[in-house]
A and B are shown apart, each in its own frame.
Chain A
Amino acid sequence: MQITVTINGKKYTEDVAPDLVLLDFLRAHGCYSVKRGCETSNCGLCTVHLNGKPVLSCSVLAVRADGKSVTTLEGLQKEAEEFGGFLADEGGEQCGFCSPGFIMNVLAMVRELENPSEQEIQEYLAGNLCRCTGYQSQLRAIQKYLAWKQEGTK
């Protein structure tokens, strides 16, 4: 099936197998930040933005992205560095394998929710598993990042 997908601002028109999932399509196009952690849509490692909304790329067929635009962490390097700096300062990227998917969802949350409460943050990100950190450092990083952003917009 022929599809046209924009990945991080660049347009690709290609023939793909109908059962190809977006995750594999993206990795085949050099988006190695997109990781697979499960086969059951439970880990959140594969989170990317499809037309600006976070999706699990393991559970979206590549053909469903036809005519749409996909953003991965490769396309958000500035934001990744900004928030990533806060995460790094908390030691919240331990093995880092969950970090890209997690950061993609954090960036989506920041766009979607204004001034999220702690509970809202935890609920929004509940689908992003991390086996290393126990989540506390990630929360600290998010709260500091949000405060920093608030400062900036004042």
Chain B
Amino acid sequence: MSYVNSRVRKKDAMSLVTGKPVYTGDLIPQNTLVVKLLRSPHANAFIEEINTAAALKVPGVAAIFTYQDVPTSRFTTAGQTYPEASPYDRLILDKHLRCAGDPVAIIAAETEAAALKAMNLIKVKYDVREPLLDFTKAKDNPILVHPEEDFKALCPVGADNRRNLCSTDVFEVGKVEEALSTCDVVLTRTYHTKANNQAMMETFRTYSYLDEYGRLSLVSSTQVPFHVRRILSNALEIPKSQIRVVKPRIGGGFGAKQSAVSEVYPAFVTLKTGRPAAIVYTREESMTNGSPRHEMQMTVRIGANKDGVIKAIDLYALSNAGAYGDHGPTTIGLVGHKSLSLYGGVEAARFACDVVYTNTMNGGAYRGYGATQGIYAVETAVNEMAAALHMDPCAIREKNMVLEGQVMRTYYNETCNSCTLDKCMAKAKEMMNWQEKFPAKVLENGHIRSVGVAMAMQGSGISGVDIASVEIRLNDDGFYTLLVGCTDMGTGCDTILAQMAADCLDCDIDRIAVRGVDTDQSPYDTGSYASSTTYVTGMAVVKTCEKLREKILEAGAKLLDIPVEDTEFDGKRVFCPGKDKEVSLSQIGYASFEGHNRCISASESHSSPVSPPPFMVGMVEIDLDPETGKVEIVDYAAAVDCGTVINRNLATVQTEGGIVQGIGMALFENIQYDKFGRMMNNSFLQYKIPTRLDAGKIRVEFESSYEPTGPFGAKSIGELVINTPAPAITNAIYNATGLYFRELPIRPEDIALGLLHKDEN
């Protein structure tokens, strides 16, 4: 039986659907202190005085901490490989409050009621300053978000706290100005994407305790347990050897939990009080002080000839880091690399960027990680170019898209070894019946049905940076334990890695017990982000299985007393072909646990010098009511090249889920602040994510290429799939109205007003 490329149920599925207590919040022990944070009402302020005396008298209050109590080493909460590109720009608690909701005090109490009562009794005198809220005015603004002397950037990302710069960069291939000057048509367009909240259903949460060895132990809803260990060590100024991080089941992450948002607070309380402590973020806190997608403004200059050949693209992106630089310098890189590279043949391309600090909530990692913003801008510009040239937007792509075998000059000069983007385009057109439906038709009720298109890519892991290791042990009776350090957050990686192992070891998937993640026990893995798990950790599984097979053969040969060259292993037994000699895996397992033999296990790690992009084409059909401007998603066709599909169900659901998140970004989601810098839409009542009535019908097909460097030919899928809705829907709205909306989300009122003005003109 082959498990790869089939529809295997997730290993944890039945415990999830029967509601078993497997998440962080279900595991918090009795008598754990409840941790709450007093948060700043001001976006830019200094604490002048803080008085906790009355609050400490509330019965049940165990401790209250202020900036005077915490360590003074700056750190980043971004979960990235050391040395992190994100500047070390924050303290656990700081005298300087840089955004609304920045923590002012940590309160630990026996009950939530006591903690909240104490919170109200803390007296704070603020020196309130004018906040810097407009990110387009942040660079070299006299208001400094990080005036401190001890601001530190570990990597040369161009950070300069005296200029509100978190990072800056530029790269160019070919000569952009020259190429643009020879084009028949050059368009310059500016696009604006907003901050979006990941809105995973399980908010940030962590509990901590001192274990039987006196070490600080955490159970946390995190995508990056090993990074959390280092972040805590930096923040708390204690050795990493004193910290253990365990990840149970996670209620969604989408990148939000690639930052240590909640971990430091209970950890600090436990360290100070010796007591178990837990923090569970409210939805409001998750909204106001999470780690959302970076808001960006992007200007695209695109040049093409009349025949539709795109010759040059020049892209400038300005990103709002917010108050802290988590993921700021790295997110921006993808804006360029993962958008321009869709057009492999361009003569010249340039990408320049600035990431700036402001007094708004800090950004973080959100599925797509900058590629989403960049692809929206470039794909929309390409659609605008198609319109300017009176071309079908599919046709212009067919002329210019990246092809297998091409060297991607804007993608670290990697060769595109696996790519069926052309087939994805053909497939999507067929699924959507594009020829028939493009561009639009008016229905009897006056509504307009129109279609739109976009392409997308992503990476598979961070080349030369991500490392994954796994260990597989053979046990008595011949079953295996697969130890992984990557974090299944609902994505199903525990299952797909077991599928791969089962195929490599020719065994039933139930004979593989998977265990992740405990930093004391699991082999090292950078964590689950950057679409790395299937591709990078998967390869570590393949390598480990190869090693393990060798060891099993050796052990079998020894037991059979024949040379190892004469033996074979078929998953159940080691045998000598043609001869009547065999020993079962179960016997080998038992023997390995006994006396003179050796335990059989293997552990390999993997890191990839390349990050092969998965590709896709997304096509949407919308129903637009020109009276009200309301847009409904009728149909979404997705043709995806993620290399070999490891699990059809999970890959399909990833795609469907990513597309619906993308629909949210395109039509509804927008983090908004009032003039004081306080987030206004801080609940699901105001911040609307798509419900099942907004999702429309989504159809997914795979056009698999084969990636030679991936496990079983696989690439990634998790992030890619969020990238097409925004540009495809923008395109469909244009095809319905003749208007391009260059700011997301595109709201009904924008469309209705746009149509009104169009009529007036």
B13 with A84: CB separation less than 8 A:
yes
The 8 Å CB contact of A131, one of B9, B23, B199, B647, is B199
Give the segment of A60-68, A93-101, A108-116, A146-154 that binds chain B. Answer: A93-101
Chain A nearest CB, measured from B61 CB (Å): 19
- The distance in angstroms between the C-alpha atoms of A92 and B249, with both chains bound, is 16
User: Within A65-116, which residues are at the interface with B (CB < 8 Å)?
Assistant: 72-74, 77, 80-81, 83-85, 87-100, 103
Residues of A within 8 A of B698 (CB): 134, 136
> Given that A95-B250, A122-B693, A131-B200 are contacting pairs, would A137 and B652 also be in contact in the complex, using a CB cutoff of 8 Å?
yes
Residues of A within 8 A of B201 (CB): 35, 37, 43, 45, 95, 97-98, 129-132
- The distance in angstroms between the C-alpha atoms of A10 and B254, with both chains bound, is 39
Q: Which of B7, B14, B250, B650 has the most CB of A within 10 A?
A: B14
Interface residue B689 (Cβ < 8 Å from any Cβ of A): yes
Across the two chains, which residue of chain A brings its CB closest to B495?
A91
A42 with B684: CB separation less than 8 A:
yes
- The distance in angstroms between the C-alpha atoms of A7 and B657, with both chains bound, is 34
Residues of B within 8 A of A84 (CB): 13-14, 17-18
- The distance in angstroms between the C-alpha atoms of A70 and B435, with both chains bound, is 55
A80 with B17: CB separation less than 8 A:
yes
Interface residue B658 (Cβ < 8 Å from any Cβ of A): yes
Residues of B within 8 A of A138 (CB): 692
Chain A nearest CB, measured from B618 CB (Å): 13
Across the two chains, which residue of chain A brings its CB closest to B661?
A131
The 8 Å CB contact of B17, one of A74, A99, A131, is A99
Residues of A within 8 A of B10 (CB): 88, 91, 93
Residues of B within 8 A of A96 (CB): 12-13, 16-17, 249, 251, 490
B14 with A89: CB separation less than 8 A:
no
The 8 Å CB contact of A89, one of B7, B251, B661, is B7
A92 with B691: CB separation less than 8 A:
no
Interface residue B156 (Cβ < 8 Å from any Cβ of A): no
Residues of B within 8 A of A136 (CB): 653, 656, 695, 697-698
Interface residue B282 (Cβ < 8 Å from any Cβ of A): yes
User: Within B343-390, which residues are at the interface with A (CB < 8 Å)?
Assistant: none
Interface residue B119 (Cβ < 8 Å from any Cβ of A): no
Residues of A within 8 A of B655 (CB): 134
B254 with A94: CB separation less than 8 A:
no
B492 with A91: CB separation less than 8 A:
yes
- The distance in angstroms between the C-alpha atoms of A126 and B692, with both chains bound, is 6
Count of inter-chain pairs, beta carbons less than 8 A: 174
Interface residue A21 (Cβ < 8 Å from any Cβ of B): no
Residues of B within 8 A of A131 (CB): 198-201, 252, 254, 657, 661, 689
B283 with A91: CB separation less than 8 A:
no
Residues of B within 8 A of A39 (CB): 282-284, 683
Interface residue B202 (Cβ < 8 Å from any Cβ of A): yes
Chain B nearest CB, measured from A123 CB (Å): 7
Contact with A along B587-616 (1 / 0, CB 8 A): 000000000000000000000000000000
- The distance in angstroms between the C-alpha atoms of A96 and B691, with both chains bound, is 17
Chain B nearest CB, measured from A47 CB (Å): 11
Interface residue B190 (Cβ < 8 Å from any Cβ of A): no
Residues of B within 8 A of A43 (CB): 201, 283, 684
> Given that A91-B652, A94-B657, A134-B657 are contacting pairs, would A73 and B18 also be in contact in the complex, using a CB cutoff of 8 Å?
yes
Interface residue A133 (Cβ < 8 Å from any Cβ of B): yes
> Given that A96-B249, A98-B201, A134-B695 are contacting pairs, would A103 and B17 also be in contact in the complex, using a CB cutoff of 8 Å?
yes
Across the two chains, which residue of chain B brings its CB closest to A100?
B19
- The distance in angstroms between the C-alpha atoms of A92 and B653, with both chains bound, is 7
- The distance in angstroms between the C-alpha atoms of A131 and B256, with both chains bound, is 13
Chain A nearest CB, measured from B256 CB (Å): 10
Interface residue A33 (Cβ < 8 Å from any Cβ of B): yes
Interface residue B1 (Cβ < 8 Å from any Cβ of A): no
The 8 Å CB contact of A81, one of B18, B23, B490, B660, is B18
User: Within B160-194, which residues are at the interface with A (CB < 8 Å)?
Assistant: none
Interface residue B674 (Cβ < 8 Å from any Cβ of A): no
- The distance in angstroms between the C-alpha atoms of A93 and B249, with both chains bound, is 12
Across the two chains, which residue of chain B brings its CB closest to A32?
B21
Interface residue A12 (Cβ < 8 Å from any Cβ of B): no
- The distance in angstroms between the C-alpha atoms of A76 and B454, with both chains bound, is 45
Interface residue B491 (Cβ < 8 Å from any Cβ of A): yes
The 8 Å CB contact of A132, one of B19, B252, B647, B692, is B252
Q: Contact residues of B with A, CB < 8 Å? A: 7, 9-10, 12-14, 16-21, 23, 25-26, 198-203, 249-252, 254, 282-284, 489-492, 647, 649-650, 652-653, 655-661, 683-685, 689, 691-693, 695, 697-698
Beyond contacts A91-B649, A123-B693, A134-B695: 10 other A-B pairs, Cβ-Cβ < 8 A, are A33-B21, A37-B684, A39-B282, A43-B684, A84-B13, A94-B657, A97-B490, A131-B201, A133-B656, A134-B653
A-B contact pairs, 27 of them (CB 8 A): A37-B283, A39-B683, A73-B18, A85-B14, A87-B17, A90-B653, A91-B492, A91-B650, A91-B653, A93-B17, A96-B13, A96-B16, A96-B17, A103-B19, A122-B693, A125-B692, A128-B692, A129-B201, A131-B200, A131-B252, A132-B201, A133-B656, A134-B660, A135-B656, A135-B660, A136-B695, A138-B692
Q: Contact residues of A with B, CB < 8 Å? A: 32-33, 35, 37-40, 42-43, 45, 72-74, 77, 80-81, 83-85, 87-100, 103, 122-123, 125-139
